[in-house]
């Protein structure tokens, strides 16, 4: 019998225990981050359960957009947004919230204010909901400068100032991936316990990967470096095997696979969308932070992604992220073009 493996199986490292362990290394800490994270985790569990029931709910409500009680059914992304906003405000640890669903930032009223700002996409990849493809929640956390006077500048900061970031993927299992700037750890929801358990400690992305991930339907509008890079993936010049193409079209799922298996995920600029599609604050930054913490890189086509300073809440940026060597290759192509 393998006693060590058995001990690990019965000694469950829940996400709360993991974060409390980290907190105990900082004697000055008052547990605010742990409380905030617990509220984010609660939101994720709610969305996970709603996503799992979505197909069924749709069947029950076949006659239209109403359920059996005759109530109008809220779309999942709207519902998820409401759940996160309420959970984050009630944590008493936030000052400003920026959600993909809301045009304006939410400023928390003074009596409930705390020192953190949270930027998030409550349900990313939502065009995939109806066909059962994995979707997810993405979030990033900043510290407010002055709790008495939060301003938009607290969230319009460079990505390298993020304190923590992560995502929760609602897929064949529900997986929560987190960085607090000291590596990346993955937790899987045990539905029978209702707890996220550490299943992927200290995730490191392979230095080079065998997969590229991009919407090739946009190829006719790509710029030179992106087009040459994808051509090289298919027809390598160094005698190596071509890369495989995998594109789900749901950022959390594509990035999760890239993190675990290696390779590169691209959402480049093109002639129709000169800034790409993905949003800086709650897609590009959190995923770039995770990639760097796992040993990979994230690049915009011009600079390190985390060096960007967004001017607007819902600003977009091209993004190339993944294995260190693969991103290095695309950086070289953009550098050569700039000469
Ligand atoms: P969606 O439109 O389904 O919400 O930013 C949103 C996003 O999905 C990402 O999750 C995904 O990576 C990307 O858009 C897919 O875009 P394309 O359909 O243009 O490939």
Average pLDDT over residues 317-333: 98
* Tens digits of residue pLDDT in 112-127: 999 999 999 999 998 8
| CB atoms closer than 10 angstroms to residue 153 | 10
For ligand 1, atom 16, the nearest C-alpha belongs to 249
Beta strands in 226-314 (DSSP E): 244-245, 264-267, 297-299
Average pLDDT over residues 241-269: 98
For ligand 1, atom 15, the nearest C-alpha belongs to 249
pLDDT attached to residue 213: 98
Ligand 1 site, residue 249, Cβ cutoff 6 A: yes
62 confidence band (pLDDT: 50, 70, 90): very low
75 confidence band (pLDDT: 50, 70, 90): confident
Average pLDDT over residues 205-228: 97
CA atoms of 33 and 161, how far apart (whole Å): 16
Minimum-distance ligand 1 atom for the alpha carbon of 247: 20
Going by C-alpha positions, the residue among 305, 215, 301, 296 that lies closest to residue 262 is 296
Helix (H) or strand (E) run with residue 39 in it: helix 32-60
pLDDT of residue 67 exceeding 50, the answer is no
pTM of the model: 0.93
- CA distances in angstroms from 40 to 164, 221, 310, listed in the order given: 12, 38, 24
Average pLDDT over residues 185-214: 97
Ligand 1 site, residue 251, Cβ cutoff 6 A: yes
63 confidence band (pLDDT: 50, 70, 90): very low
Average pLDDT over residues 223-229: 97
How much is the mean pLDDT over the chain? Answer: 92
pLDDT attached to residue 61: 44
DSSP state of 92: T
pLDDT of residue 57 exceeding 80, the answer is no
* Tens digits of residue pLDDT in 89-109: 999 999 999 999 999 999 999
Average pLDDT over residues 54-67: 53
pLDDT of residue 172 exceeding 80, the answer is yes
Token duo for residue 93: 């640890």
The least confident of 4-8, 82-86, 107-111, 293-297 is 4-8
Ligand 1 site, residue 134, Cβ cutoff 6 A: no
Best of 51, 81, 125, 280 to mutate for ligand 1, by most ligand atoms within 8 A of CB? 125
Minimum-distance ligand 1 atom for the alpha carbon of 128: 3
């Amino acid at each position: 019998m393998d006693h060590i493996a058995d001990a690990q199986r019965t000694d469950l490292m829940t996400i709360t225990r993991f974060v409390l362990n980290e907190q105990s290394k900082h004697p000055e800490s008052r547990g605010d981050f742990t409380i905030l994270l617990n509220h984010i985790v609660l939101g994720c569990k709610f969305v996970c359960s709603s996503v799992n029931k979505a197909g069924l709910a749709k069947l029950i409500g076949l006659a239209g957009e109403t359920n059996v009680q005759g109530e109008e059914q809220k779309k999942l992304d709207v519902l998820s947004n409401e759940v996160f906003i309420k959970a984050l405000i009630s944590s008493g640890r936030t000052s400003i919230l920026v959600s993909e669903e809301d045009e304006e930032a939410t400023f928390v009223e003074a009596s409930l204010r705390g020192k953190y700002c949270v930027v998030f996409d409550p349900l990313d990849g939502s065009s995939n909901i109806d066909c059962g493809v994995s979707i997810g929640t993405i979030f990033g956390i900043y510290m407010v400068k002055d709790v008495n006077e939060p301003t938009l500048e607290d969230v319009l900061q460079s990505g390298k100032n993020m304190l923590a970031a992560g995502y929760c993927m609602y897929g064949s299992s529900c997986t929560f991936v987190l960085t607090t700037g000291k590596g990346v750890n993955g937790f899987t929801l045990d539905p029978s316990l209702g707890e996220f358990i550490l299943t992927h400690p200290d995730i490191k992305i392979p230095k080079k990967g065998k997969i590229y991930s991009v919407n090739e339907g946009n190829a006719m509008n790509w710029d030179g470096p992106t087009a040459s890079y994808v051509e090289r993936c298919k027809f390598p010049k160094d005698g190596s095997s071509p890369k495989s193409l995998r594109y789900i079209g749901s950022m959390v799922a594509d990035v999760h696979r890239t993190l675990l298996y290696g390779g590169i995920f691209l959402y480049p600029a093109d002639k129709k969308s000169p800034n790409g599609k993905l949003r800086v604050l709650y897609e590009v930054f959190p995923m770039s932070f995770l990639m760097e913490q796992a040993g990979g890189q994230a690049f915009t086509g011009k600079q390190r992604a985390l060096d960007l300073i967004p001017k607007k809440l819902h600003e977009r940026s091209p993004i190339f992220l993944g294995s260190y060597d693969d991103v290095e290759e695309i950086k070289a192509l953009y550098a050569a073009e700039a000469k």
